[in-house]
Chain A
Amino acid sequence: MSEVTAAWKINVFRDKSFYTPFNMICGVILIAGGLVTLLRFTGGLASVTNLDNNYPWGIWIGFDLLAGVALAAGGYVTSAAVYIFGMKRFHSAVRPAILTGFLGYALVVVALHYDVGRPWRLPYPFIMQQGTTSVLFEVAACVALYLTVLFIEFSPAAMEWLGLRRARRIVVKLTMILTIFGVILSTLHQSSLGALFLIAPSKLHPLWYSNYLPVYFFITSIIAGLSMVIFESAMSHRYLGHKMDDTHKKEAEGVTLGFGKAAAFVLFGYFSIKVMGIAAGNHWNLLATNYGIWYLVELLGFVGLPCYLYAVGVRDKNIKLIKWTSALTVLGIVLNRFNICLIAFNWYLPSDQKYFPHWMEIVISVFLVTVGVIIFRFIVTRMPVLYEHPDYEAH
Protein backbone atom coordinates (compact mmCIF):
# COMPACT_ATOMS: atom_id res chain seq x y z
CA MET A 1 0.00 0.00 0.00
CA SER A 2 1.45 3.36 -0.97
CA GLU A 3 1.87 6.10 1.64
CA VAL A 4 -0.71 8.30 -0.12
CA THR A 5 -3.37 5.56 -0.02
CA ALA A 6 -2.62 4.78 3.62
CA ALA A 7 -2.84 8.47 4.55
CA TRP A 8 -6.16 8.82 2.66
CA LYS A 9 -7.63 5.83 4.48
CA ILE A 10 -6.56 7.17 7.88
CA ASN A 11 -8.06 10.58 7.04
CA VAL A 12 -11.37 9.11 5.85
CA PHE A 13 -11.82 6.91 8.91
CA ARG A 14 -10.81 9.72 11.31
CA ASP A 15 -13.14 12.19 9.64
CA LYS A 16 -16.26 12.51 11.83
CA SER A 17 -18.45 13.31 8.80
CA PHE A 18 -17.79 9.75 7.56
CA TYR A 19 -19.74 8.28 10.51
CA THR A 20 -23.18 9.59 9.53
CA PRO A 21 -26.27 7.49 10.42
CA PHE A 22 -26.73 6.80 6.67
CA ASN A 23 -23.16 5.51 6.26
CA MET A 24 -23.32 3.45 9.45
CA ILE A 25 -26.61 1.74 8.53
CA CYS A 26 -25.41 1.14 4.96
CA GLY A 27 -22.14 -0.27 6.30
CA VAL A 28 -23.92 -2.79 8.53
CA ILE A 29 -26.23 -3.86 5.66
CA LEU A 30 -23.30 -4.22 3.25
CA ILE A 31 -21.33 -6.39 5.69
CA ALA A 32 -24.38 -8.58 6.42
CA GLY A 33 -25.18 -8.83 2.69
CA GLY A 34 -21.58 -9.71 1.87
CA LEU A 35 -21.55 -12.53 4.42
CA VAL A 36 -24.87 -13.97 3.18
CA THR A 37 -23.64 -13.69 -0.43
CA LEU A 38 -20.61 -15.76 0.55
CA LEU A 39 -22.88 -18.34 2.18
CA ARG A 40 -25.23 -18.46 -0.82
CA PHE A 41 -22.48 -19.07 -3.38
CA THR A 42 -20.59 -21.57 -1.26
CA GLY A 43 -23.44 -23.43 0.47
CA GLY A 44 -26.14 -23.28 -2.22
CA LEU A 45 -29.78 -22.18 -2.06
CA ALA A 46 -30.70 -24.50 0.83
CA SER A 47 -28.22 -22.80 3.17
CA VAL A 48 -29.85 -19.37 2.94
CA THR A 49 -33.42 -19.81 1.63
CA ASN A 50 -36.71 -21.51 2.49
CA LEU A 51 -37.30 -22.48 -1.14
CA ASP A 52 -38.62 -25.97 -1.92
CA ASN A 53 -40.27 -27.87 -4.77
CA ASN A 54 -43.60 -26.11 -4.15
CA TYR A 55 -41.97 -22.70 -4.10
CA PRO A 56 -38.91 -22.62 -6.37
CA TRP A 57 -39.38 -18.85 -6.62
CA GLY A 58 -39.21 -16.79 -3.43
CA ILE A 59 -38.78 -13.09 -2.69
CA TRP A 60 -35.64 -12.90 -4.84
CA ILE A 61 -37.97 -13.37 -7.82
CA GLY A 62 -41.18 -11.88 -6.36
CA PHE A 63 -39.56 -8.72 -5.02
CA ASP A 64 -36.10 -8.26 -6.54
CA LEU A 65 -37.09 -9.28 -10.05
CA LEU A 66 -40.83 -8.85 -10.61
CA ALA A 67 -41.28 -5.74 -8.46
CA GLY A 68 -37.78 -4.49 -9.41
CA VAL A 69 -38.50 -4.57 -13.16
CA ALA A 70 -41.88 -2.88 -12.68
CA LEU A 71 -40.43 -0.15 -10.47
CA ALA A 72 -37.64 0.47 -12.98
CA ALA A 73 -40.23 1.34 -15.63
CA GLY A 74 -39.86 5.07 -14.97
CA GLY A 75 -37.09 5.20 -17.60
CA TYR A 76 -39.21 4.25 -20.59
CA VAL A 77 -42.32 6.06 -19.31
CA THR A 78 -40.48 9.38 -18.85
CA SER A 79 -38.37 9.23 -22.01
CA ALA A 80 -41.47 8.29 -24.07
CA ALA A 81 -43.39 11.25 -22.58
CA VAL A 82 -40.56 13.70 -23.30
CA TYR A 83 -39.06 12.52 -26.60
CA ILE A 84 -41.97 10.73 -28.33
CA PHE A 85 -44.96 12.73 -27.05
CA GLY A 86 -42.99 16.01 -26.93
CA MET A 87 -43.78 16.90 -23.29
CA LYS A 88 -40.60 18.93 -22.86
CA ARG A 89 -41.80 20.36 -19.55
CA PHE A 90 -40.86 17.00 -17.99
CA HIS A 91 -37.33 17.05 -19.42
CA SER A 92 -35.63 17.50 -16.04
CA ALA A 93 -37.12 14.16 -14.91
CA VAL A 94 -35.55 12.15 -17.74
CA ARG A 95 -32.01 11.63 -16.44
CA PRO A 96 -32.94 10.68 -12.85
CA ALA A 97 -35.62 8.32 -14.24
CA ILE A 98 -33.21 6.68 -16.68
CA LEU A 99 -30.56 6.35 -13.97
CA THR A 100 -33.12 4.75 -11.61
CA GLY A 101 -34.21 2.43 -14.43
CA PHE A 102 -30.65 1.47 -15.31
CA LEU A 103 -29.70 0.73 -11.71
CA GLY A 104 -32.98 -1.11 -11.19
CA TYR A 105 -32.38 -3.40 -14.16
CA ALA A 106 -28.71 -3.90 -13.31
CA LEU A 107 -29.70 -5.02 -9.81
CA VAL A 108 -32.40 -7.28 -11.24
CA VAL A 109 -29.68 -9.10 -13.17
CA VAL A 110 -27.52 -9.30 -10.03
CA ALA A 111 -30.51 -10.59 -8.01
CA LEU A 112 -31.16 -13.22 -10.65
CA HIS A 113 -27.65 -14.58 -10.06
CA TYR A 114 -28.54 -15.22 -6.41
CA ASP A 115 -31.57 -17.24 -7.46
CA VAL A 116 -30.14 -19.07 -10.47
CA GLY A 117 -26.51 -19.45 -9.36
CA ARG A 118 -23.57 -20.19 -11.68
CA PRO A 119 -23.07 -16.58 -12.87
CA TRP A 120 -20.79 -17.66 -15.70
CA ARG A 121 -23.87 -19.14 -17.39
CA LEU A 122 -25.49 -15.72 -17.84
CA PRO A 123 -25.11 -15.75 -21.67
CA TYR A 124 -26.62 -19.28 -21.93
CA PRO A 125 -30.08 -18.07 -23.08
CA PHE A 126 -28.40 -16.75 -26.22
CA ILE A 127 -26.02 -19.61 -27.00
CA MET A 128 -27.53 -22.75 -25.42
CA GLN A 129 -31.31 -22.62 -25.06
CA GLN A 130 -34.41 -24.70 -25.55
CA GLY A 131 -35.91 -22.53 -28.28
CA THR A 132 -36.86 -18.96 -28.96
CA THR A 133 -40.54 -19.65 -28.21
CA SER A 134 -39.79 -19.75 -24.46
CA VAL A 135 -41.23 -16.81 -22.53
CA LEU A 136 -38.13 -16.81 -20.32
CA PHE A 137 -35.92 -16.50 -23.41
CA GLU A 138 -37.93 -13.44 -24.45
CA VAL A 139 -37.57 -11.95 -20.96
CA ALA A 140 -33.80 -12.64 -20.94
CA ALA A 141 -33.31 -11.15 -24.41
CA CYS A 142 -35.38 -8.05 -23.67
CA VAL A 143 -33.80 -7.40 -20.27
CA ALA A 144 -30.29 -7.77 -21.73
CA LEU A 145 -31.10 -5.47 -24.66
CA TYR A 146 -32.98 -2.93 -22.55
CA LEU A 147 -30.19 -2.79 -19.99
CA THR A 148 -27.84 -1.94 -22.87
CA VAL A 149 -30.29 0.70 -24.16
CA LEU A 150 -30.54 2.28 -20.70
CA PHE A 151 -26.75 2.31 -20.39
CA ILE A 152 -26.42 4.14 -23.73
CA GLU A 153 -29.31 6.49 -22.86
CA PHE A 154 -27.61 7.45 -19.59
CA SER A 155 -24.10 7.64 -21.04
CA PRO A 156 -24.31 11.35 -22.12
CA ALA A 157 -24.36 12.31 -18.42
CA ALA A 158 -21.20 10.27 -17.78
CA MET A 159 -19.60 11.70 -20.94
CA GLU A 160 -20.32 15.27 -19.82
CA TRP A 161 -18.69 14.41 -16.49
CA LEU A 162 -15.64 12.94 -18.26
CA GLY A 163 -15.52 15.69 -20.91
CA LEU A 164 -16.00 13.33 -23.90
CA ARG A 165 -17.64 15.87 -26.23
CA ARG A 166 -17.43 13.97 -29.51
CA ALA A 167 -18.77 10.70 -28.10
CA ARG A 168 -21.60 12.57 -26.40
CA ARG A 169 -22.55 14.28 -29.66
CA ILE A 170 -22.89 10.88 -31.39
CA VAL A 171 -24.94 9.30 -28.58
CA VAL A 172 -27.25 12.32 -28.28
CA LYS A 173 -28.18 11.87 -31.96
CA LEU A 174 -29.44 8.37 -31.10
CA THR A 175 -31.86 9.61 -28.42
CA MET A 176 -35.08 9.12 -30.40
CA ILE A 177 -34.22 5.66 -31.77
CA LEU A 178 -33.10 4.52 -28.30
CA THR A 179 -36.35 5.78 -26.78
CA ILE A 180 -38.45 3.91 -29.36
CA PHE A 181 -36.36 0.80 -28.86
CA GLY A 182 -36.75 1.13 -25.08
CA VAL A 183 -40.55 1.41 -25.30
CA ILE A 184 -40.79 -1.65 -27.57
CA LEU A 185 -38.51 -3.76 -25.36
CA SER A 186 -40.31 -2.68 -22.18
CA THR A 187 -43.74 -3.48 -23.64
CA LEU A 188 -42.46 -6.93 -24.53
CA HIS A 189 -40.76 -7.99 -21.32
CA GLN A 190 -43.00 -6.21 -18.79
CA SER A 191 -45.95 -8.16 -20.21
CA SER A 192 -43.92 -11.37 -20.56
CA LEU A 193 -43.23 -11.40 -16.82
CA GLY A 194 -47.01 -11.71 -16.36
CA ALA A 195 -47.17 -14.28 -19.15
CA LEU A 196 -44.82 -16.51 -17.12
CA PHE A 197 -47.74 -17.30 -14.80
CA LEU A 198 -50.06 -18.37 -17.63
CA ILE A 199 -48.36 -21.76 -17.42
CA ALA A 200 -49.75 -22.30 -13.91
CA PRO A 201 -53.54 -21.79 -14.07
CA SER A 202 -54.17 -24.40 -11.39
CA LYS A 203 -51.55 -23.04 -8.98
CA LEU A 204 -52.52 -19.37 -8.96
CA HIS A 205 -55.74 -18.40 -7.17
CA PRO A 206 -58.54 -17.77 -9.73
CA LEU A 207 -58.96 -14.17 -8.57
CA TRP A 208 -55.38 -13.37 -9.57
CA TYR A 209 -55.09 -15.75 -12.51
CA SER A 210 -56.32 -14.33 -15.79
CA ASN A 211 -55.61 -14.71 -19.49
CA TYR A 212 -54.97 -10.98 -19.32
CA LEU A 213 -52.07 -11.24 -16.83
CA PRO A 214 -49.60 -9.90 -19.44
CA VAL A 215 -51.86 -6.87 -19.96
CA TYR A 216 -52.18 -6.34 -16.20
CA PHE A 217 -48.40 -6.52 -15.76
CA PHE A 218 -47.78 -4.03 -18.56
CA ILE A 219 -50.35 -1.52 -17.28
CA THR A 220 -49.10 -1.80 -13.70
CA SER A 221 -45.56 -1.17 -14.97
CA ILE A 222 -46.74 2.20 -16.35
CA ILE A 223 -48.33 3.01 -12.97
CA ALA A 224 -45.15 1.87 -11.18
CA GLY A 225 -42.96 3.95 -13.51
CA LEU A 226 -45.02 7.12 -13.03
CA SER A 227 -45.18 6.65 -9.26
CA MET A 228 -41.47 5.87 -8.94
CA VAL A 229 -40.54 9.08 -10.80
CA ILE A 230 -42.67 11.07 -8.33
CA PHE A 231 -41.28 9.14 -5.34
CA GLU A 232 -37.67 9.39 -6.52
CA SER A 233 -38.11 13.11 -7.25
CA ALA A 234 -39.48 13.64 -3.71
CA MET A 235 -36.52 11.77 -2.19
CA SER A 236 -33.97 13.62 -4.35
CA HIS A 237 -35.58 16.94 -3.46
CA ARG A 238 -35.35 16.14 0.22
CA TYR A 239 -31.92 14.55 0.49
CA LEU A 240 -30.06 15.79 -2.62
CA GLY A 241 -31.73 19.19 -3.02
CA HIS A 242 -28.32 20.93 -2.87
CA LYS A 243 -27.37 19.15 -6.11
CA MET A 244 -30.41 20.48 -8.02
CA ASP A 245 -30.25 23.57 -10.21
CA ASP A 246 -33.07 26.13 -10.48
CA THR A 247 -34.54 24.52 -13.61
CA HIS A 248 -34.94 21.16 -11.84
CA LYS A 249 -36.40 22.80 -8.74
CA LYS A 250 -38.88 24.83 -10.83
CA GLU A 251 -39.93 21.88 -12.98
CA ALA A 252 -40.25 19.45 -10.06
CA GLU A 253 -43.75 20.63 -9.13
CA GLY A 254 -44.96 20.34 -12.74
CA VAL A 255 -43.49 16.83 -13.00
CA THR A 256 -45.26 15.76 -9.80
CA LEU A 257 -48.61 17.20 -10.93
CA GLY A 258 -48.33 15.90 -14.51
CA PHE A 259 -47.21 12.41 -13.53
CA GLY A 260 -49.78 12.34 -10.71
CA LYS A 261 -52.55 13.11 -13.18
CA ALA A 262 -51.34 10.41 -15.59
CA ALA A 263 -51.03 7.89 -12.74
CA ALA A 264 -54.59 8.66 -11.55
CA PHE A 265 -56.00 8.08 -15.03
CA VAL A 266 -54.05 4.87 -15.67
CA LEU A 267 -55.03 3.58 -12.20
CA PHE A 268 -58.68 4.22 -13.07
CA GLY A 269 -58.28 2.22 -16.28
CA TYR A 270 -56.49 -0.58 -14.40
CA PHE A 271 -59.21 -0.68 -11.75
CA SER A 272 -61.85 -0.94 -14.49
CA ILE A 273 -60.21 -3.83 -16.32
CA LYS A 274 -59.64 -5.66 -13.03
CA VAL A 275 -63.38 -5.47 -12.32
CA MET A 276 -64.04 -6.68 -15.87
CA GLY A 277 -61.59 -9.52 -15.15
CA ILE A 278 -63.72 -10.63 -12.19
CA ALA A 279 -66.80 -10.53 -14.43
CA ALA A 280 -65.05 -12.42 -17.25
CA GLY A 281 -64.15 -15.28 -14.89
CA ASN A 282 -67.47 -15.06 -13.02
CA HIS A 283 -65.52 -14.96 -9.75
CA TRP A 284 -67.89 -12.74 -7.78
CA ASN A 285 -68.63 -15.52 -5.30
CA LEU A 286 -64.90 -15.85 -4.44
CA LEU A 287 -64.81 -12.27 -3.13
CA ALA A 288 -66.53 -13.45 0.05
CA THR A 289 -63.70 -15.89 0.89
CA ASN A 290 -60.50 -15.05 2.83
CA TYR A 291 -58.53 -14.76 -0.37
CA GLY A 292 -61.35 -12.62 -1.80
CA ILE A 293 -61.06 -10.18 1.10
CA TRP A 294 -57.30 -10.00 0.56
CA TYR A 295 -57.96 -9.40 -3.15
CA LEU A 296 -60.31 -6.55 -2.25
CA VAL A 297 -57.65 -5.09 0.07
CA GLU A 298 -55.27 -4.99 -2.90
CA LEU A 299 -57.88 -3.71 -5.37
CA LEU A 300 -59.53 -1.08 -3.17
CA GLY A 301 -56.65 -0.16 -0.85
CA PHE A 302 -53.78 -0.13 -3.34
CA VAL A 303 -55.51 0.63 -6.67
CA GLY A 304 -58.80 2.42 -5.95
CA LEU A 305 -57.55 4.51 -3.02
CA PRO A 306 -54.34 5.77 -4.73
CA CYS A 307 -56.41 6.55 -7.84
CA TYR A 308 -58.72 8.76 -5.78
CA LEU A 309 -55.88 10.32 -3.74
CA TYR A 310 -53.87 11.15 -6.88
CA ALA A 311 -56.96 12.77 -8.41
CA VAL A 312 -57.67 14.84 -5.27
CA GLY A 313 -53.97 15.79 -5.04
CA VAL A 314 -53.93 16.95 -8.68
CA ARG A 315 -57.21 18.88 -8.32
CA ASP A 316 -56.06 20.64 -5.14
CA LYS A 317 -52.45 20.94 -6.38
CA ASN A 318 -51.50 19.21 -3.13
CA ILE A 319 -47.92 18.12 -3.85
CA LYS A 320 -47.47 16.51 -0.45
CA LEU A 321 -50.53 14.30 -0.95
CA ILE A 322 -49.31 13.23 -4.41
CA LYS A 323 -45.89 12.33 -3.01
CA TRP A 324 -47.37 10.20 -0.22
CA THR A 325 -49.74 8.59 -2.72
CA SER A 326 -46.78 7.64 -4.91
CA ALA A 327 -45.30 5.74 -1.94
CA LEU A 328 -48.65 3.97 -1.40
CA THR A 329 -48.82 3.05 -5.09
CA VAL A 330 -45.27 1.70 -5.12
CA LEU A 331 -46.20 -0.41 -2.10
CA GLY A 332 -49.29 -1.60 -3.98
CA ILE A 333 -47.22 -2.73 -6.97
CA VAL A 334 -44.89 -4.69 -4.66
CA LEU A 335 -47.94 -6.24 -2.95
CA ASN A 336 -49.43 -7.21 -6.34
CA ARG A 337 -46.23 -8.99 -7.38
CA PHE A 338 -46.00 -10.70 -3.97
CA ASN A 339 -49.62 -11.84 -4.27
CA ILE A 340 -49.13 -13.34 -7.72
CA CYS A 341 -45.71 -14.88 -7.10
CA LEU A 342 -46.08 -16.02 -3.49
CA ILE A 343 -49.28 -15.41 -1.51
CA ALA A 344 -51.93 -16.50 -4.02
CA PHE A 345 -49.53 -19.04 -5.54
CA ASN A 346 -50.17 -22.60 -4.29
CA TRP A 347 -53.12 -21.06 -2.45
CA TYR A 348 -54.63 -24.48 -1.72
CA LEU A 349 -51.62 -25.69 0.31
CA PRO A 350 -52.03 -25.94 4.09
CA SER A 351 -50.42 -23.01 5.89
CA ASP A 352 -47.56 -25.09 7.33
CA GLN A 353 -46.44 -25.90 3.76
CA LYS A 354 -46.64 -22.29 2.58
CA TYR A 355 -43.46 -20.36 1.87
CA PHE A 356 -42.16 -17.69 4.19
CA PRO A 357 -38.81 -16.11 3.32
CA HIS A 358 -35.73 -17.01 5.37
CA TRP A 359 -34.24 -13.98 7.14
CA MET A 360 -31.15 -14.31 4.95
CA GLU A 361 -33.32 -13.93 1.81
CA ILE A 362 -34.62 -10.67 3.26
CA VAL A 363 -31.05 -9.57 4.05
CA ILE A 364 -30.07 -10.06 0.38
CA SER A 365 -33.09 -8.09 -0.85
CA VAL A 366 -32.34 -5.22 1.55
CA PHE A 367 -28.65 -5.46 0.59
CA LEU A 368 -29.44 -5.07 -3.12
CA VAL A 369 -31.75 -2.08 -2.54
CA THR A 370 -29.04 -0.48 -0.38
CA VAL A 371 -26.41 -1.05 -3.09
CA GLY A 372 -28.77 0.66 -5.55
CA VAL A 373 -29.26 3.67 -3.26
CA ILE A 374 -25.50 4.00 -2.63
CA ILE A 375 -24.64 3.85 -6.37
CA PHE A 376 -27.46 6.30 -7.15
CA ARG A 377 -26.08 8.74 -4.58
CA PHE A 378 -22.52 8.23 -5.82
CA ILE A 379 -23.52 9.04 -9.43
CA VAL A 380 -25.90 11.89 -8.63
CA THR A 381 -23.32 13.68 -6.48
CA ARG A 382 -20.78 13.57 -9.32
CA MET A 383 -22.52 13.57 -12.69
CA PRO A 384 -24.98 16.13 -14.13
CA VAL A 385 -28.20 14.26 -13.32
CA LEU A 386 -30.12 16.71 -11.14
CA TYR A 387 -28.63 19.76 -12.88
CA GLU A 388 -27.72 20.80 -16.44
CA HIS A 389 -24.00 20.84 -17.18
CA PRO A 390 -23.19 24.50 -17.99
CA ASP A 391 -20.89 23.54 -20.91
CA TYR A 392 -23.46 21.40 -22.74
CA GLU A 393 -26.79 22.11 -24.37
CA ALA A 394 -29.76 20.07 -23.18
CA HIS A 395 -30.86 17.37 -25.64
Chain B
Amino acid sequence: MENEIHTLQEFYTYTKGVIYLLIPVILAGTAGFWSFLTDRDKK
Protein backbone atom coordinates (compact mmCIF):
# COMPACT_ATOMS: atom_id res chain seq x y z
CA MET B 1 0.00 0.00 0.00
CA GLU B 2 1.18 3.50 -0.80
CA ASN B 3 0.16 4.90 2.61
CA GLU B 4 2.12 2.42 4.66
CA ILE B 5 4.30 4.06 7.29
CA HIS B 6 7.67 2.46 8.05
CA THR B 7 9.68 5.14 9.83
CA LEU B 8 9.12 7.91 12.36
CA GLN B 9 10.07 10.38 9.62
CA GLU B 10 7.23 9.07 7.43
CA PHE B 11 4.80 9.14 10.36
CA TYR B 12 5.52 12.79 11.14
CA THR B 13 5.53 13.81 7.47
CA TYR B 14 2.11 12.22 7.05
CA THR B 15 0.46 13.43 10.29
CA LYS B 16 1.92 16.95 10.04
CA GLY B 17 0.71 17.09 6.44
CA VAL B 18 -2.85 16.26 7.55
CA ILE B 19 -2.64 18.85 10.36
CA TYR B 20 -1.43 21.53 7.94
CA LEU B 21 -4.47 20.78 5.79
CA LEU B 22 -6.76 20.97 8.82
CA ILE B 23 -5.43 24.31 10.11
CA PRO B 24 -6.86 26.54 7.34
CA VAL B 25 -10.17 24.67 7.60
CA ILE B 26 -10.26 25.30 11.38
CA LEU B 27 -9.24 28.96 11.01
CA ALA B 28 -11.96 29.57 8.43
CA GLY B 29 -14.39 27.61 10.63
CA THR B 30 -13.49 29.73 13.66
CA ALA B 31 -14.16 32.95 11.75
CA GLY B 32 -17.44 31.54 10.43
CA PHE B 33 -18.51 30.28 13.86
CA TRP B 34 -17.70 33.64 15.46
CA SER B 35 -19.85 35.49 12.95
CA PHE B 36 -22.65 32.91 13.46
CA LEU B 37 -22.38 33.52 17.21
CA THR B 38 -22.31 37.31 17.10
CA ASP B 39 -24.03 38.54 13.93
CA ARG B 40 -27.30 39.26 15.75
CA ASP B 41 -25.55 41.31 18.45
CA LYS B 42 -25.39 44.38 16.23
CA LYS B 43 -29.09 44.29 15.34
- Residues in A lying within 8 Å of B, measured CB to CB: 261, 264-265, 268-269, 272, 275-276, 279-282, 311, 314-315
- Residues in B lying within 8 Å of A, measured CB to CB: 5, 11, 14-15, 18-19, 22, 26, 29-30, 33-34, 36-40
Which residue of A is nearest B29, CB measured? A272
Write the nearest CB–CB distance from B8 to chain A, whole angstroms.
12
**Complex contact B18–A268 (CB within 8 A):** no
Specify which chain A residues have a CB less than 8 angstroms from the CB of B5 in the assembled complex.
282
- A279 to B19 CA separation, bound complex (whole angstroms): 6
**Complex contact A265–B34 (CB within 8 A):** yes
**Complex contact A265–B37 (CB within 8 A):** yes
**Complex contact B37–A281 (CB within 8 A):** no
Specify which chain A residues have a CB less than 8 angstroms from the CB of B38 in the assembled complex.
261
**Complex contact B18–A279 (CB within 8 A):** yes
Given contacts A282-B11, A282-B14, is CB(A311)–CB(B36) below 8 Å?
yes
Q: List 18 A-B contacts (CB under 8 A).
A: A261-B37, A264-B33, A264-B37, A265-B34, A265-B37, A268-B29, A268-B30, A269-B30, A272-B29, A272-B30, A276-B19, A276-B22, A276-B26, A279-B18, A282-B14, A311-B33, A311-B37, A314-B37
**Complex contact B33–A268 (CB within 8 A):** yes
Specify which chain A residues have a CB less than 8 angstroms from the CB of B33 in the assembled complex.
264-265, 268, 311
**Complex contact A275–B22 (CB within 8 A):** yes
Q: Which of A265, A280, A311 makes the CB contact (< 8 A) with B19?
A: A280
Specify which chain B residues have a CB less than 8 angstroms from the CB of A275 in the assembled complex.
22, 26
Q: Which 7 A-B pairs have the closest CB atoms?
A: A279-B18, A272-B26, A282-B15, A268-B33, A311-B37, A279-B19, A315-B40
- A225 to B37 CA separation, bound complex (whole angstroms): 20
Write the nearest CB–CB distance from A326 to chain B, whole angstroms.
16
Scoring B19, B36, B37 by chain A CB atoms within 10 A of each residue's CB, the highest score goes to B37
Which residue of B is nearest A262, CB measured? B37
Which residue of A is nearest B40, CB measured? A315
Write the nearest CB–CB distance from A87 to chain B, whole angstroms.
15
Specify which chain B residues have a CB less than 8 angstroms from the CB of A272 in the assembled complex.
26, 29-30
- A261 to B34 CA separation, bound complex (whole angstroms): 10
Which residue of B is nearest A312, CB measured? B36
Specify which chain B residues have a CB less than 8 angstroms from the CB of A268 in the assembled complex.
29-30, 33
- A315 to B36 CA separation, bound complex (whole angstroms): 8
Scoring B11, B14, B15, B29 by chain A CB atoms within 10 A of each residue's CB, the highest score goes to B15
Specify which chain A residues have a CB less than 8 angstroms from the CB of B36 in the assembled complex.
311, 315
Specify which chain B residues have a CB less than 8 angstroms from the CB of A311 in the assembled complex.
33, 36-37
**Complex contact A281–B15 (CB within 8 A):** yes
- A315 to B29 CA separation, bound complex (whole angstroms): 17
Scoring A261, A265, A268, A281 by chain B CB atoms within 10 A of each residue's CB, the highest score goes to A268
Which residue of B is nearest A282, CB measured? B15
- A12 to B34 CA separation, bound complex (whole angstroms): 55
Specify which chain B residues have a CB less than 8 angstroms from the CB of A265 in the assembled complex.
33-34, 37
Which residue of A is nearest B27, CB measured? A272
- A213 to B31 CA separation, bound complex (whole angstroms): 26
Specify which chain B residues have a CB less than 8 angstroms from the CB of A280 in the assembled complex.
15, 19
**Complex contact A279–B15 (CB within 8 A):** yes
Write the nearest CB–CB distance from B32 to chain A, whole angstroms.
10
Write the nearest CB–CB distance from A316 to chain B, whole angstroms.
8
